[in-house]
Structure 1
Amino acid sequence: MQVYGIDLSKEKFDVNFFDTDGKEKSRMVKNGLDSISKFLSKVPGGSVLCAENTGSYGDLLVFLCNQCGVSIALVPGYTVKHSLGILKGKSDPIDAARLREYGERFFDKLSFKTYQSESGSELRQLYSLRSQLVKSRKKLRTGEHAREQMPMQSIRANVILQASLAALDEQVGAVEKEMELIIKSDAGLVENYELAVSVLGVGPVIATDLIIKTGNFSTIGTARKAASYAGVCPFPNASGNMVGKSRTSPFADKELKSLLYMGAKSAVKHNKEYRLYYQKKQQEGKPHYLIMNNVMNKLLRTIYSVVNSKKPYSRDYICLDPREINKNDNGSKKIVA
């Protein structure tokens, strides 16, 4: 099996591989439709591409690889850097060679990429646009609050500001309507979306963000993996006789974590089960943010449960504690009141 290492950039990407004579070869390919198509047509059957995960720069390559039946894996640069020992020097051809070496040595760890559907791609682009519009609106409103404290205020500046804010509100609303139409037009998306928003504390923004970033709950298929991805999963911190507190990892999707925190606040406020859990942990002396982190984990587990079971969230559902289930003398299970 031949492994190609690919270092991606906006305009081009560098390729490193061994030819049929066992000689190391390097080449440069423009990151465009025609150049990538010609390159893939010369890739031998059964070969594997190991490329650096650089976001949207690799989308066209992944899409064309799927069309041509070529397997491609996207690997974070951080993973490659910390898996090959001490490395010196850096350039695009060198990085391509390291990616090829990583693909050869850790082939069993490669996860091959499948480009998302047309609906998923459009939904992701609209969601990204909405985030940019919301950030612009937030900056304008922050500046508005600062100007309110000035002794002399410009009437003209205020008129233009209000017009800009109104336009941004309209654009955000239009994007949200378009996202809603895309979700409703796709049977797979609309089912999981409605199941997710049935959970108290989960709104349209959180549900859409989860659908995009978890591959409609298939790429990240478990609540535990989603918690690790969002940065709400604590990891042990111990070595020898030193035992520290478990901490969450800084390598996380901070936007999703922020949304889950807002959802957890809403769940604690409006959901009796979550409110009682919060109050119980508070009486035990647990810090606020530790409790909220646990609530975010609980919220993710609930979302994945309703999605996997295909049953909407019910406030009347009672989850029995397995510790309350004892066995009778004849081996049958008995619920202890």
Structure 2
Amino acid sequence: MKRSWFIGIDISKKTLDVAIYDPKLKKCRIHFKVENSPKGFREMVKTLKGECVKIDEAFLCMEYCGVYGLEIGFFLDGKIDYCFCAPLQIKRSLGISRGKNDKLDAMKIARFCYLLREELEPATMPNELMLSLKALMAERSRLIKVQTMDKTVLSELQSTLPESSIKRAQQRLIAVKADIRAIEKEIVSLIGQDPELQKTYKLLTSIVGISVVNATMMILLTNNFKGITDARAFACYCGIAPFEHTSGTSIKGKTKVSKMGNRPMKAMLSNSARSAIVHDPELRIYYKRKREEGKSHGTVMNAVKFKIITRAYAVINRGT
């Protein structure tokens, strides 16, 4: 579809700052503000049309900002092409800039939208079931943090605490563990409501090392393997794929993984790798062989994580 109008939207809790980039003038010529609500979205479309913007040739770009962007995403879905981009991607693609406010941010996003017009792909919002899964996973993550804090208190500070504090921490641990189990059961039940998701889930959990939580996280991050369709790309997204660090003859750094990546997924894959080298004979032999060759524990574990990812993509692509 032809793209002639490039619109940047800076999202905040209560308002949207909207800027229109003019390719002919090479700058943003219009800025306005609306409420972050259905009423504001309708007003935005009305204003765009009033500025002679052809809606079917418009492309909107927004920074990903979690729950504050859900409503506008659902409003735009199927009506106007749009995409959500990582704030860091926008910041680093535009070079040095001075000053920051909502208006400037909207203008920067609009310019970014124009500059990367050939690369940006239109987004689609996840369905209700996927959003529910995401909410459950977020709730589980919060409970895991509470569990970790109480375990730390009981293991390291028990001798300094009064008996009443220890008892409350123990009671919280019991309750939190029960809640985590209940959430995991609800996750499995929700996945079972969608035949396509259930098939993906069963294929993933058939791999040694991939648990209920790991499989669900992979499904969410890849949009059921429709968003990220390549194992290498997913490994890169998780911060597992190694990259060179060289320049000419003077810089010859080690090949290493980037610190940029989805850390929660990377941590889950670390758990998967630890489980796999214990329970999977093939990966256990591989781990021991590489260690005997002099490879560090971290390097070999990273390779095991990548093997788990490639296995996941292999079973999904094969369907068995």
Partner of 2:304: 295
Q: CA deviation at 1:217?
A: 1.2
- Equivalences for 1:243-262 in 2 at 5 Å? 243-262=252-271
Which region of structure 1 is more displaced relative to structure 2, 295-304 or 99-108?
A: 99-108
Partner of 2:182: 174
Note if contact 2:59-2:81 (Cα within 8 Å) is conserved in structure 1: yes
Partner of 1:35: 40
Gaps of 5+ in 1: 312-337
Whole-Å separation in 1 of the counterparts to 2:21 and 2:92: 23
Note if contact 2:270-2:301 (Cα within 8 Å) is conserved in structure 1: yes
Matched, 1:268 2:282: no
Q: CA deviation at 1:41?
A: 4.9
Can you list the C-alpha shifts for 1:274-309, whole angstroms capped at 9, x where unaligned?
111112211211111000001100110001101110
1:113 maps to amino acid: A
Q: CA deviation at 1:33?
A: 2.4
Gaps of 5+ in 2: 49-53
Can you list the C-alpha shifts for 1:41-72, whole angstroms capped at 9, x where unaligned?
554322111112222221111111005x1111
Cα 1:157–1:89, aligned 2, differ >3 Å: closer, same or farther? closer
- Equivalences for 1:99-114 in 2 at 5 Å? 99-114=109-124
Note if contact 1:236-1:245 (Cα within 8 Å) is conserved in structure 2: yes
- Equivalences for 1:224-239 in 2 at 5 Å? 224-239=232-247
Whole-Å separation in 2 of the counterparts to 1:134 and 1:205: 12
Partner of 1:307: 316
Q: 57, 62, 68: which is aligned to 1:57?
A: 68
Whole-Å separation in 2 of the counterparts to 1:270 and 1:122: 32
Q: Secondary structure at the match of 1:238?
A: strand
Output the TM-score relative to the length of structure 2: 0.91
Note if contact 1:223-1:300 (Cα within 8 Å) is conserved in structure 2: yes
Q: Secondary structure at the match of 2:60?
A: strand
Note if contact 2:11-2:63 (Cα within 8 Å) is conserved in structure 1: yes
Note if contact 1:8-1:14 (Cα within 8 Å) is conserved in structure 2: yes
Note if contact 2:184-2:212 (Cα within 8 Å) is conserved in structure 1: no
Number of residue pairs the alignment of both structures matches: 307
Partner of 1:215: 223
2:113 maps to amino acid: G
Cα 1:283–1:63, aligned 2, differ >3 Å: closer, same or farther? same
Report the identity percentage. 30
Can you list the C-alpha shifts for 1:209-233, whole angstroms capped at 9, x where unaligned?
1111111111111111110011110
| Greater C-alpha radius of gyration | 1
- Equivalences for 1:74-85 in 2 at 5 Å? 74-85=84-95
Q: Secondary structure at the match of 1:244?
A: strand
Matched, 1:282 2:291: yes
Whole-Å separation in 2 of the counterparts to 1:304 and 1:37: 41
